[in-house]
Amino acid sequence: AERFREDVVDDFVAEYEAGRTPNPCLRCNEKIKFAALLDKALALGFDAVCTGHYATVVLNEDGTRELHRASDMAKDQSYVLGVLDEKQLAHAMFPLGDTLTTKDEIRAEAERRGLAVAKKPDSHDICFIADGDTQGFLAARLGKAEGDIVDEAGTKVGTHEGAYGFTIGQRKGLRIGHPAADGKPRYVLDISPVNNTVTVGPAEALDVTALTAIKPRWCGTAPEGPGRYTAQLRAHGGETPVSAELEDGELKVVFDEPVRGVAPGQAIVLYDGTRVVGSATIAATTRRTAEAATA
């Protein structure tokens, strides 16, 4: 519990306070389920940690292991496991990954086997925020901090009670007093914790063409040289083709087509077909210029 509070909950709050958008599920898998919990399991003589994630581990002839997407793509959860390295994969089991059974069937089998989790409620997106009120959770820990909401020209268009309550690409809940000159919706483009300012603008200003990611973790051997992959940017998002290369410990990624809703702090997970290559934390993005967006 102490490790979970420090490595997941406290990290979650600190990341939002710094203007980033973290994914606590990845942090939990990296630091708790397949680190603290796995260490305890091995110390007690167990072989592996077994979870209900929809993903598969493939054992190659040479003894190496690979992490792949689940058989049922609609349920695939390999994105949140992209932080696992080969050593952790060697002691991980995902029995649901290659099945097409329904959740009701799985619960029924768990009940037949006498497992207490048979009647366990479905998990929330963020397990430690039971009511789903992330903004309220952060406000209780960080307090109110009023600041300005400005447009791309720096003109004040509204106020907020804490920049941590916003994410890049957010449209709802901005509480802007008056509409944009063109009448179109505005989205969060930038969050600056330094001056406690939230910048909003049109949807096309969210177009990201490239990014830099830090703290890469590889599900096996690190790739060498530039390569072609597909990338997933959120747990329930789709794939997009990219070119990626590791430079001085940082992952440089260029998208074939601009993508939106990319925020520092999020994880990017690279795939080679169904195989998970690895993941990294987004540190900075490059956006398409306004001129290019309207061309």
Superfamily in which the 144-205 domain is placed by CATH = Adenine nucleotide alpha hydrolases-like domains (2.30.30.280)
Q: By the 8 A CB rule, do 138 and 164 touch? A: yes
Tokens 């049109």, located at residue: 202
| Single-letter residue type at 188 | V
The bridge status of strand 239-247 relative to strand 250-259 is antiparallel
Counting Cα atoms < 13 Å in the Cβ hemisphere of 71 gives 10
Angle at 54 between CA 48 and CA 59, to 5 degrees: 50
pLDDT of amino acid 141: 93
**0.85 exceeded by the pTM?**
yes
Measured distance CA(250)–CA(212) in Å, rounded = 7
Measured distance CA(183)–CA(100) in Å, rounded = 46
Closest CA to 16 of 133, 157, 162, 116: 162
pLDDT of amino acid 216: 96
Per domain, the residue ranges of the chain are 2-119, 144-205
Closest CA to 170 of 144, 135, 139: 135
Q: By the 8 A CB rule, do 283 and 212 touch? A: yes
| Single-letter residue type at 33 | K
pLDDT of amino acid 293: 43
CATH of domain 2-119: 3.40.50.620
Measured distance CA(169)–CA(157) in Å, rounded = 17
Q: Name, in order, each residue with C-beta under 8 angstroms of 234's C-beta and a sequence gap of 6 or more.
A: 23, 79, 261, 266
pLDDT of amino acid 289: 67
pLDDT of amino acid 295: 39
Q: Which residues of the chain have pLDDT under 70?
A: 124, 177-178, 289-295
Residue pLDDT, tens place only, 168-193: 999 988 878 667 777 788 999 999 98
- The runs of H, that is alpha helices, within the chain are 2-4, 10-17, 24-28, 37-43, 86-89, 103-112, 134-142, 290-294
**The residue count for the chain:** 295
pLDDT of amino acid 176: 83
Could you give phi then psi for residue 97, rounded to 5 degrees?
-65, -30
Which residue numbers are catalytic? 28, 127
pLDDT of amino acid 294: 38
